[in-house]
Amino acid sequence: MNNIMIGRFVPGDSFIHRLDPRTKMIGTFLYILVMLWANSWASYAWTAIFVLGLIRLTGQPFKLYWDGLKPIFWLILFTVVLQLAFTPGTPVLYRLGPVVITTPGLINAIYVMIRFILIILMSTILTLTTPPTSIANALEMLLGPLKKIKVPVAELALMLSIALRLVPLLMDETQKIMNAQKSRGMSFSTGGPVKRAKAIIPLLIPLFVGALQRALDLANAMEVRGFRDAVQRTKYRVLHYEKNDGLAFAGLVVFVVVFVVTKRLF
């Protein structure tokens, strides 16, 4: 549970930390779009080099990002197996009844695995170097034009901010409940898959009760402070682009140009 990095922010003073959150969000969205366009070893290699370079610029150890991948390892493995077993083509490498492993299937499985890992690493860079409140403010400003068509941008940004804050809190709460259950003799790591699944059931009731109580406390706190929806509010922290953001956008342009050249040549 402690390895889940969604919504966690690690303070720092690196180049990435000092960037405007809008710059980091635009860069993350652009990177995801580029990754969906990649289809060769050279293009994947370039996108991997770019992400590893960004991780180096954050000043945080790579082990922190690697630990963040462990909780979703089984999801990545499941997706890879589906690509490996159900992608048609020739030549056939292995056949076991209706399951046929082909060379295109193997290549697609490797590409999907790399794509998953790199996109998750890029998203982790955004969340680890940006406070949840800043992410919500950046999203609200980026989606500002949608207000003209009556889209509740401020409310969407508020929900995102609350969700990003509650995810690590729920993970910590789950870990506390697990430790309490272990102290009473419960084991979560012994037995087969069915026994382990049954052991998780006692966690659900206190976890849901705690989440509902936390939501009620938050709603009461917002009401006491006079929160009202559909009301234009001022910002305590006003976002401004600076020189580092210009350098970051220039780096994004170079990244896209090199990617396009690499894709066409290889």
pLDDT band (50, 70, 90) for residue 230? low
pLDDT digits (tens, 9 = 90+) for 98-131: 777 888 888 888 998 999 999 999 988 998 899 8
Distance between CA atoms of residues 51 and 263, nearest Å: 17
Long-range contacts of 85-93 (CB under 8 A, 24+ apart): none
Which contiguous run of DSSP H or E holds residue 142?
helix 132-142
Q: Sketch the domain layout of the chain as residue ranges.
A: 21-152+230-265
Could you say which DSSP state residue 98 is in? Answer: T
Given a contact cutoff of 8 angstroms between Cβ atoms, the answer to whether 201 and 172 are in contact is no
pLDDT digits (tens, 9 = 90+) for 37-93: 888 899 999 999 999 999 999 998 888 888 778 778 888 888 888 888 888 777 877
pLDDT digits (tens, 9 = 90+) for 14-23: 999 999 999 9
Tell if the pTM clears 0.85, that is, is over it: no
pLDDT band (50, 70, 90) for residue 2? low
Amino acid at 59: G
Distance between CA atoms of residues 150 and 35, nearest Å: 32
